[in-house]
Amino acid sequence: MDRLIHTALNSLANLRDTRVIQAQNLANQTVPGFRRDLTNEGDPRFLKAMETASARAFQTERGPHLFSSAPGLLNQTGEPMDVAIAEEGWFFVQPEGGEPALSRRGDLRLTAEGQLVNGAGEAMLDQAMQPIELPAVRSLVIDEVGRILYEPMDGAPGEEVEGPVIATVIPEGVALRKDADGQIRAGDEPLPAPDQRARILQGVLEGSNVNTMEELVSSIELQRTFELNLRMISAAKELDESGARLLRPPE
């Protein structure tokens, strides 16, 4: 009887992890370039007791959680500081206090110190993997390769200056994953070098690839599965009590 209860409890624990992932996805559905987290199918393991494998099987997590690489919707904003990558590719960013990472977020802005960052405050990197810094500008143009052309505030009207190039890459043969800080990296492997093969669109912003309706429908299914497991535990309790009554000696 305890096997039935432990199986149901293990299922409830897995459902809890899935609900946490769904909450994370729904909380980031409006974040530009966010990549939807996927559930980890896990791996079955047999519980060992007294150096002997028992019949109790548990599902345990296997490796880091994956994420969906499907592109998000591209929205025309007309803002010169909004950029997006068409189809494949990634930007290089430098999170504060962390290692360089890859990102699809393109809501850019210039800080008071002249550093080019995205909406999360992560510094955009150039081809030399250095944070991009610009002076005060009147206007700014970013071409498809990522080259920045700007009109400095203290320059002559119409004067254009060629600035750094926003580093991009289309990784091949690299298994990307989300680290504990939520940043996309290549695990224990180093990030690939910039190749500038990604095509950048200015005045366009990519949304997250979270499908709100799909997440809500899945949430309803998880709730029903949760209730089914609770009923299984209640049924196991009733069966155990019935068996105990049958074994009870007559009074």
pLDDT in tens, 151-184: 998 888 888 899 999 999 999 888 899 988 889 9
61 and 179 part of one domain:
no
54 and 89 part of one domain:
no
The reported pLDDT for the residue numbered 46 is 54
Which of 110, 117, 111, 120 lies closest to 32 in space, CA to CA? 120
- Distances from the Cα of 180 to the Cα of 29, 64, 83, 160, 177, angstroms: 19, 9, 27, 42, 10
135 and 196 part of one domain:
yes
183 and 139 part of one domain:
yes
The boundaries of the domain holding residue 214 are 2-67+210-247
Inform me whether the pLDDT recorded for 1 exceeds 70.
no
195 and 113 part of one domain:
yes
| C-beta separation of 152 from 138 below 8 A | yes
Q: How far is residue 48's CA from residue 39's CA, in Å, rounded to a whole number?
A: 26
114 and 186 part of one domain:
yes
Strand 109-110, strand 116-117: pairing: antiparallel
Backbone angles phi, psi at 185, to 5 degrees: -140, -175
- DSSP code for 180: T
Inform me whether the pLDDT recorded for 207 exceeds 60.
yes
Q: How far is residue 146's CA from residue 89's CA, in Å, rounded to a whole number?
A: 12
231 and 160 part of one domain:
no
Q: Lowest mean pLDDT: which of 59-68, 73-82, 128-137? A: 59-68
At position 91, the amino acid (one-letter code) is: F
197 and 96 part of one domain:
yes
Q: The whole model's pTM is what?
A: 0.77
The reported pLDDT for the residue numbered 116 is 96
45 and 148 part of one domain:
no
84 and 201 part of one domain:
yes
222 and 151 part of one domain:
no
- What value, to the nearest 5°, has the Cα angle with vertex 234 and ends 233 and 237? 90
- Distances from the Cα of 114 to the Cα of 110, 123, 124, 129, 181, angstroms: 5, 11, 12, 17, 26
The reported pLDDT for the residue numbered 111 is 94
